[in-house]
Structure 1
Amino acid sequence: MSSTAVHTTVMLHEAVDALVHDPDGTYIDATFGRGGHSRLILSRLSPAGRLIAFDKDPEAIAAAAEIADSRFSIRHEGFAQLGDLPPASAAGVLMDLGVSSPQIDSPVRGFSFRFDGPLDMRMDPTRGESVAEWLAAAEVQQIAEVIRDYGEERFAGPIAKAIVARRQEGRPVSTTTELAELVAGAVKTREQGQNPATRTFQALRIFINAELEELQQVLSASLGVLQTGGRISAISFHSLEDRIVKTFIAQQSKEVYDRRAPFAPPQPMRLKALGRFKPSAAEVSANPRSRSAVLRVAERTEVPA
């Protein structure tokens, strides 16, 4: 299957309904993908509204060229660069996290164990090193830590040892099939219905793209670019992402007191949580990949002078 596979946007209306509250505002689609959310946002904006999108993937940038709308622009950058935008300039930031269906379904991208292809997994294949290149040099302990911390894989140690042992035999892991078969041999038990390689592939993808670090950066940056009343609408697809979003919103939804100055007024809360949402049963039935999605929405409560 090619990278032109159809992408079904997850929680499309829920995310955009929660985001767009001012049709004249400037909005940010931090992860353009194939533009499902962007197109719906544009349909909700007035002629004065604006939409700025970000994406690392050159194929996403090419897809964005199909949008002939003067209100729209896209940047070939990771969403951590959102902080370069002017302070208090945005009415909302949408984050559709994780990997898109066209990326998963393209064998040459190396994201999925369902297709045999080069073990790459980079969101932007023009920059940085691939998973295969990293595995060709990393130590057992490094590999085990990545698979354990980002994949929550209890067999991380045996998997890492198997990867390095194969490399020492002169057969470094270079394809998705090779890695999936190696993991299957090292994992003794697995949840029913889950491929043994699922957690390892997730971990290596998250690590090689620094996904969690960038998520923390973009959440912090969003506070600076959002106007008072501006919204964050974030869709997560696994517990590590959702935990970061949930924790960030919770921390920013409290007044903060300085213990060194007990009589000073507290730093006011900067966000107000507006809710947590899951896809409907009908959406999960039509698009099984949506079943793990969690949408969290928050509103900017104040902007420092």
Structure 2
Amino acid sequence: MVANPGGGSSDADGGPVRHIPVLLTEVIEALAPSSGKVILDGTFGAGGYTSAILASGADVIALDRDPTAIAAGQALVEKHSGHLTLIQSQFSQLAEHAPEGGLDGIVLDIGVSSMQIDEAERGFSFQKNGPLDMRMSASGVSAADVVNHAKLADLIRIFVYLGEEKQAPRIAHAIEKRRAEQPFETTRDLAGLIETVTPRKAKDKIHPATRVFQALRIFVNDELGELAAALFAAEQVLKPGGRLVVVTFHSLEDRIVKKFFADRSGRSTGSRHLPIVHERAATFDAIGKAMVSASDGEAAVNPRARSAKLRAGLRTGAPAEPADLSIFELPNLATLGKLGG
């Protein structure tokens, strides 16, 4: 993943970066894998976390929604025959792949991988011209479908909420005018229009298209909904004493994880302006610091780590809570599932 050094973070604008697992030492410390344990890596990618977990002696069930990652990971499966199971699946469905006795740990590294960014044909980066795609699973509605067919109001809401883009109305209006004449097909096509509408200033640290590309990627892959569902699923399948470790790369993701662990700590207020209404049995206790970020040294070596945040929780013996999405205060964005039809 590639961090955005200005404002919120994004991994849409990165050029070629050799894949280095972010916060690897801190992840393994929080996860505490060891021989006899079964750990689920919900975001296999290039296998960085999985390899380190296997080295501890633990068995790994690894998931990835990207068929390319699954194909590339077969060599690692063969190397660790019997100790690594690699499955193409969204991590929101992790409960379907957990063993009957439950899991000792789950790790999630949220966002797009540097390998996906480097592949121009995937359409994640505007620095590499390719089809305007952005689908991690290579199926479903593409970014081009959204840009060319979504209603103006929906585009604005997507860019504002998922990209935190201040120029969202201006960019969306320009897209609507241009697509009436000619549909958008490539990453450079869209990035060029955005750069014309909101020219880059000398003081700007990021490209004008960064936040729009981030918003489209998150929307196309339902990344926030996937993360929320995965957290609920993890609560269901972790054994008492099991560990949930999540690494995020921008504020929207981190906010969801923070809200989840706060809600599952057993205290409920309903409002920050009112006293506690009631206490609930905690389903997770904090592991170490509430949030861990990369050291200056790691960030200097690995740009992807600059905006990374790690949060971790230890599963208690309390029954899992209902999967209530309202705790995340997610937006009710328009349903665009038929755009690709």
Q: Give the TM-score, by structure 2 length.
A: 0.81
Matched, 1:182 2:197: no
Q: Residue type matched to 1:141 in 2? A: A
**Could you tell me how far 1:101 is from its partner in structure 2?**
0.6
Which secondary structure state, in structure 1, belongs to the residue aligned with residue 60 of structure 2? strand
Matched, 1:297 2:312: yes
Q: Residue type matched to 2:292 in 1? A: F
1:144 to 153, 156, 161: 156
Matched, 1:236 2:234: no
The answer (yes or no) to whether the contact 2:65–2:89 under 8 Å persists in 1 is yes
Within a 5 Å distance, the mapping from 1:246-261 to structure 2 comes to 246-255=258-267
2:129 is matched with which residue? Answer: 116
Which secondary structure state, in structure 1, belongs to the residue aligned with residue 65 of structure 2? coil
The answer (yes or no) to whether the contact 2:16–2:117 under 8 Å persists in 1 is no
Q: 1:185 to 1:87 in 2, by over 3 A?
A: farther
d(CA) in 2 for partners of 1:303, 1:53: 26
Identity between Structure 1 and Structure 2 (%): 41
d(CA) in 2 for partners of 1:182, 1:208: 20
**Could you tell me how far 1:105 is from its partner in structure 2?**
1.3
The answer (yes or no) to whether the contact 1:109–1:117 under 8 Å persists in 2 is yes
Q: Which ranges of 4 or more aligned residues in structure 1 deviate by more than 3 Å?
A: 3-6, 188-191, 255-258
CA deviations on 1:16-63 (whole Å, 9 max, x unpaired) are 121024431110000000000000000012xxx421011011111012
d(CA) in 1 for partners of 2:223, 2:47: 20
Q: 1:29 to 1:187 in 2, by over 3 A?
A: same
Which secondary structure state, in structure 2, belongs to the residue aligned with residue 217 of structure 1? helix
1:201 is matched with which residue? Answer: 213
Higher relative contact order (CA 8 A, sep 6+): 2
Within a 5 Å distance, the mapping from 1:274-289 to structure 2 comes to 274=287, 275=289, 276-289=291-304
Runs (5+) with no aligned partner, structure 2: 1-14, 271-277, 321-341
RMSD: 2.1
Which secondary structure state, in structure 2, belongs to the residue aligned with residue 221 of structure 1? helix
Q: Give the number of equivalent residue pairs.
A: 292
2:4 is matched with which residue? Answer: none
2:66 to 57, 81, 86: 57
d(CA) in 2 for partners of 1:255, 1:156: 37
**Could you tell me how far 1:257 is from its partner in structure 2?**
9.3
The answer (yes or no) to whether the contact 1:87–1:224 under 8 Å persists in 2 is no
Q: 1:291 to 1:118 in 2, by over 3 A?
A: same
Matched, 1:157 2:169: yes
**Could you tell me how far 1:288 is from its partner in structure 2?**
1.2
2:119 is matched with which residue? Answer: 106
Greater Cα offset, 280-289 or 239-248 = 280-289
